[in-house]
Amino acid sequence: MAIAIDSNVIVYVIDDDAPGKQRVARAVLRSRGQAGLAVPLQVLGEVFAVLTRRRRWEPDDARVVVTSLISALPTCSSSTDSLQRAMALCRAHAVSFWDAQNRDSRR
């Protein structure tokens, strides 16, 4: 089973403004290697939004990062079935909808 990468991990890997978080995020990715990782399309959209809005990157620069992630790692997406499973996970385990959806999209 693949592990879905959260947008925060990706942003911290490339964010030089938070060196402590950057070290931890890089260590997380190194510990897994690229095998067994997947990036939900929702997460790629979140990365683009964070880089362009919060970090004030130029859209073209953020697009390069997202495009390189698409090339480097497998992606996964959601379906109506995964939406239903995510809602059930929220109810059963008291997790956020977005975390549940990203977890389910790895299937």
pTM above 0.75, yes or no: no
Is 44 a domain residue? yes
Question: How many other CB atoms are there within 10 angstroms of residue 105's CB atom?
Answer: 24
Spatial strand order in the sheet of 37-40? 3-4, 37-40, 75-76
Is 85 a domain residue? no
Is 54 a domain residue? yes
Q: How far apart are CA 35 and CA 101, in angstroms?
A: 21
For residue 16, give its domain range.
3-76
Is 102 a domain residue? no
Is 61 a domain residue? yes
DSSP state of 107: -
Q: Are 51 and 57 in contact (CB under 8 A)?
A: yes
Torsions phi, psi for 104 (to 5 deg) = -70, -30
Mean pLDDT of the chain: 85
Is 90 a domain residue? no
The total domain count for the chain is 1
Is 105 a domain residue? no
* 62-78 residue pLDDT tens: 999 999 999 988 888 87
* pLDDT(107) > 70: no
Is 83 a domain residue? no
